[in-house]
A and B are shown apart, each in its own frame.
Chain A
């Protein structure tokens, strides 16, 4: 039998040698996706419509081209998402013919399984709907877009991270992770969180978005928005965040570095309108991505670790 005939439009790309940083990162991530597809029965990709999950999906598509991505998507929707991001999420699912499960924090609040926090942020509330969805669908591998450069607790995270039946992370008792031999063995009820972007930095992600011409929700680029300043962050005026006394609303040119809840994700003043301009901006930034724009990480010295122990991403 002869080999598969390729379409005539095939182009010849010279082999890159030596392998550069972005190529090495891409290959490592693709390797991780293929390991999970081969060794797990019910994997799922956490997809929020944020840039990391978008890059993650792009890499998953690369791993299985010209075939389809053999995973479904799961979005834990806090109910405080940016409309542009939800529109992007739905358009992507539609265009790629993917299956999307939505775990809705709003549903949990409506029937009393969760209660609104006094500070109004809903990020920490995502843990219970996430773990319930994992149990309901019996997902055994859950891809997250977390990167080790984001936060000091995430810096301790393995690429394959075992979670017990309560979804808990035990940072003191993690499996050793050697070479590229990822051990996905787990007992029934346990699952593995998989972080294919572990070794990427914010700058790597933006360089890759530029190189691959990956489309993102519009709020990642400069636009005009009514904002007010709180704790050095520019918060959008909207249904979930209103200025308090002494905080004045201004129309500013801003963009977002991270996309989470509208209530606790800050914008940055920026005129960067393209991936290339964002790359320049990120390379020169004096602040980390989360430090600049995430209120929920400021709650305590170990806010992220505490959430992760309970089963957060």
Chain B
């Protein structure tokens, strides 16, 4: 049977059982979970991701055929001599395949009946730590791999620090290659203890250790008979049941204005003036008293609109309220000066504005940071000039303490103070990852230099 006919047969089967239909209704209500992987080189991240996708049946026939062909043309799988190199499912660039390492984040998509996943498969090499920060910044779960034979390495500490700093809600410690230590429970316990101690120091509260073999598939999707001493969830079970970053809808309203809509030419909407944006946190409801920052003017939400689009027309429909994560358009009762960079906030819980920030930054560039540097800061929808007025220290990965630093180099995590040319409506990162985060950008060539997280009043590093 030809490939095309084979596909058709599959379709017919699905339609007959009615199975797919039921799943599709469930699918409409399914929610996304975002996860990222981290770990040192050769810990087996790509193999774990390949295994997870393969055992979730997220790899289709043509992709499997491709991996088999390439694996065979190279004389077998890396490190095993087998006929299927799982890492080839995710390492997509020429250089990655030639060198057998992951260079950049690859995003993968898979789903089970319970939920769908966006997975950021991040590189382990120290020089690509910026990509781990990239993947972890939006993650609900970070999976940190440790090779059971090697235990905690400097990259493990760095990635734990990044996960703690970015306040990723859940960390999974995947103790990989457990088969290569004879499925020894003592090894697993030892590594778990070391990592848990570090996690405590870094303020990571939710950590789940799982013994796995990515290559064999132990405890990834299917429970392993070789680790009868382990009673916790498999990796997939954990991912299916982990909660997302739900705290943002419980925070006070923050609505950064992106773009102002004034159609003018359209008769029906001649006087329409809507402020578009995505609700960063909280709930916005028609009739809410709000404050528009940075001006600090009080007003009321007159309407919340969502687009209605037909093949030939666009209009808006009014709705009573919207929650964090929803892209909407807001109208206000008063005709204030509201533009991109304005932030609409709850009247009873305004963060006010500030022109000086104390923050923790991950330095992502090989151009070092020094005091007095003039940069651009991008914070929600505002981009402004900034000067680094002080460097308060850098994180020592060995002690997890702060040491004096005159500057920050690539992959350093440090504390800085910034003076900013425009007032920012900012919150501490610990209470709001959207109004508490920023980028530092090179004004000359636009390169992204640092990921910044605004400190709490106590100024704790992590």
Contact = CB atoms under 8 A, between A and B. Distances in A.
A and B: bona fide binding partners? yes
Interface of A: 1-7, 10-28, 30-31, 34-35, 37-38, 58, 61-68, 95-96, 148-149, 151-153, 155-156, 162, 171-172, 174-181, 183, 185-187, 198-199, 201, 203, 207, 211-212, 215, 229, 232-234, 266-270, 272, 277, 279-281, 283-288, 291-292, 301-302, 305-306
Contacts of A65: 261, 305, 307-309, 314-316, 329
Interface string B432-444: 0110011101000
A155 B107 contact: yes
A185 B316 CA distance: 32
A178 B134 contact: yes
Contact of B258 (A12, A38, A66, A266): A38
Interface in B383-426: none
A15 B364 contact: no
A286 B61 contact: yes
B68 interface: no
Contact of A24 (B10, B32, B268, B381): B32
15 contacts: A2-B333, A63-B307, A66-B261, A68-B265, A178-B137, A180-B278, A203-B27, A215-B311, A232-B2, A269-B5, A283-B20, A284-B15, A287-B61, A291-B63, A292-B3
Contact of B109 (A3, A149, A153): A149
Given A3-B332, A61-B309, A178-B134, A280 B15 contact: yes
A201 B93 contact: no
B387 to A, nearest CB: 18
Nearest to A304: B92
A268 B312 contact: no
B107 A17 contact: no
Interface in B122-142: 130-131, 133-134, 137-138
Nearest to B268: A7
Given A34-B259, A288-B63, A171 B104 contact: yes
A109 to B, nearest CB: 29
Nearest to A282: B11
B256 to A, nearest CB: 10
B105 interface: yes
Contact of B94 (A16, A19, A291, A302): A302
B378 A183 contact: yes
Nearest to A177: B134
B271 A13 contact: no
B7 interface: yes
Nearest to A10: B318
Contacts of B277: 34
Given A19-B323, A292-B62, A67 B28 contact: no
B103 A187 contact: no
Nearest to B59: A288
B326 A23 contact: yes
Interface in B30-79: 30-32, 60-63, 66, 70
Contacts of A279: 24
A172 B271 contact: no
Given A13-B306, A283-B20, A284-B20, A66 B269 contact: yes
Given A15-B319, A20-B31, A183 B446 contact: yes
B273 interface: yes
A155 B106 contact: yes
Contact of A288 (B5, B62, B93, B323): B62
Contacts of A203: 27
A155 to B, nearest CB: 4
A268 B2 CA distance: 11
Contacts of B305: 6, 65
Contact of B28 (A18, A22, A63, A229): A22
Contacts of B70: 301
Interface in B295-348: 302-303, 305-309, 311-312, 314-323, 325-327, 329, 331-335, 340
Given A1-B334, A171-B104, A281 B11 contact: yes
Given A3-B303, A176-B131, A179-B437, A64 B11 contact: no
A185 to B, nearest CB: 3
Given A30-B327, A65-B305, A156-B107, 17 more contacts: A1-B334, A16-B326, A21-B30, A61-B314, A63-B276, A64-B259, A65-B315, A96-B312, A155-B107, A156-B104, A162-B446, A171-B95, A176-B133, A187-B446, A270-B11, A281-B15, A288-B63
A280 B14 contact: yes
B37 to A, nearest CB: 14
B7 A285 contact: yes
B316 A6 contact: yes
The 9 tightest CB contacts between A and B, nearest first, are: A185-B446, A152-B92, A291-B62, A3-B302, A284-B14, A232-B3, A65-B307, A30-B327, A27-B327
B8 A270 contact: yes
B223 to A, nearest CB: 26
Contact of B316 (A12, A26, A38, A66): A66
A302 to B, nearest CB: 5
B460 interface: no
B266 A66 contact: yes
B302 to A, nearest CB: 3
A313 B27 CA distance: 30
A185 B107 contact: no
A285 B95 CA distance: 31
A42 B439 CA distance: 24
B27 A207 contact: yes
B231 interface: no
Contacts of A17: 249, 323
Contacts of B318: 6, 10-12
Contacts of A301: 70, 94, 97
B4 interface: yes
B7 A286 contact: yes
A122 to B, nearest CB: 23
Contacts of A156: 92-93, 104-107
B60 A305 contact: no
Contacts of B445: 185, 187
Contacts of B309: 58, 61-62, 65, 212
A283 B278 contact: no
A175 B29 CA distance: 34
Contacts of B106: 148, 152, 155-156
B30 A20 contact: yes
Contact of B378 (A181, A287, A288): A181
B23 A181 contact: no
